[in-house]
Amino acid sequence: MQTPAPFEYERATSVEGAIAALERLGSEARIIAGGHSLLPMMKLRLASPEHLIDINDLAELAYIREEDGEVRIGALTRHVDLLKSELLARHFPLFADAETVIADPVVRNRGTIGGSLCQADAAEDLSAVCSAAKAQVVIRGTGGERVVGMEDFHVGPYMTAVGAGEMLTEVRLPVHAGAGSAHEKVERRAGDWAIAAVSAAVWIDGGRIADAGLALSAVGVTTVHLTRGEELLRGEAPSEELFAKAGEIASEDCSPSADGRGPVDYKRHLAGVLTHRALRRATARATGQEARS
């Protein structure tokens, strides 16, 4: 039988209260949101926090809204709400692509965007989605708020920029004209973690790619930010040849490990193919050509 080590439990009634508890209890305290990553780790004794601070009553952290030229998502927003959001479908369709293939309805009804990003599992889908969409995250502590870009959020495997006494409160996605995005994933069976997954976003202006975001899941020790691929795309007219070159870069710049999901060469190949496909679909969405692509 797998049983967690003993722990104290409290339910936060406000964000300020949760942060005060984190500050008071120190490094042995952990936030619990959906619990779909933390509880399995506790049962396996890979995590043994002495205190759990439950944030599930904090309705003020569960929202998706447009404000100041950004789509803003509260940290406690569940996968299912990301899947169903019309606002996200309009501006960032890669969320629905990803959410359709993240786990199963049981996990999606409970798991949160904050928990997904803070778990910082390299195989997790939403970190790549948020990276490609050029998201910034809001981290709050007793000293106030700071805003961190996704490129600086993951500081190592299962490690983030969220410090002691802090929590993630919001994800911000900048909205610009000419945007298109897509998430492509290959898994062994429905609901499984990725063998490899790629998130792509493009912003098209005057027939050229003004900016691009590319990030990969499950092919490195953290989410892979494909900066060399993004540089290749910027300023270019979209084409199959260009997307194929970006795919080659993805194969070269990822660093997968061999495991039960496949050997290194296979994962590198997938990273390339999925990058090409995600870019093709993101561009078709940006230019209104999706139905014909």
Residue ranges that bind ligand FAD, judged by CB under 6 A? 30-38, 75, 102-103, 107, 111-112, 114-116, 118-119, 124-126, 162, 167-168, 193
Nearer to ligand FAD by Cβ, of 119 and 251: the residue is: 119
Q: How far is the CB of 105 from ligand FAD (least distance, A)?
A: 11
Nearer to ligand FAD by Cβ, of 30 and 154: the residue is: 30
Q: How far is the CB of 110 from ligand FAD (least distance, A)?
A: 6
* C-alpha dist (Å) from residue 22 to 10, 19, 166, 199, 291: 11, 5, 7, 33, 49
Bin 64: left if φ > 0, else alpha if -120 < ψ < 50, else beta.
beta
- Assess contact for 167 and 19: CB atoms under 8 A: yes
Contacts of 25 (CB under 8 A, 6+ apart): 50, 51, 53
Q: How many whole angstroms separate alpha carbon 245 and alpha carbon 272?
A: 9
Q: How far is the CB of 205 from ligand FAD (least distance, A)?
A: 31
Nearer to ligand FAD by Cβ, of 122 and 201: the residue is: 122
Q: How many whole angstroms separate alpha carbon 44 and alpha carbon 259?
A: 20
Nearer to ligand FAD by Cβ, of 55 and 233: the residue is: 55
Nearer to ligand FAD by Cβ, of 124 and 184: the residue is: 124
29-32 and 51-54 as β-strands: parallel, antiparallel, unpaired?
parallel
Q: Using CA atoms in the order 127, 106, 81, 119, what is the torsion angle rounded to 10 degrees? A: -20
Q: How far is the CB of 28 from ligand FAD (least distance, A)?
A: 12
Q: How far is the CB of 144 from ligand FAD (least distance, A)?
A: 16
Nearer to ligand FAD by Cβ, of 197 and 232: the residue is: 197
Q: How far is the CB of 140 from ligand FAD (least distance, A)?
A: 9
Q: Three-class SS of residue 238?
A: coil
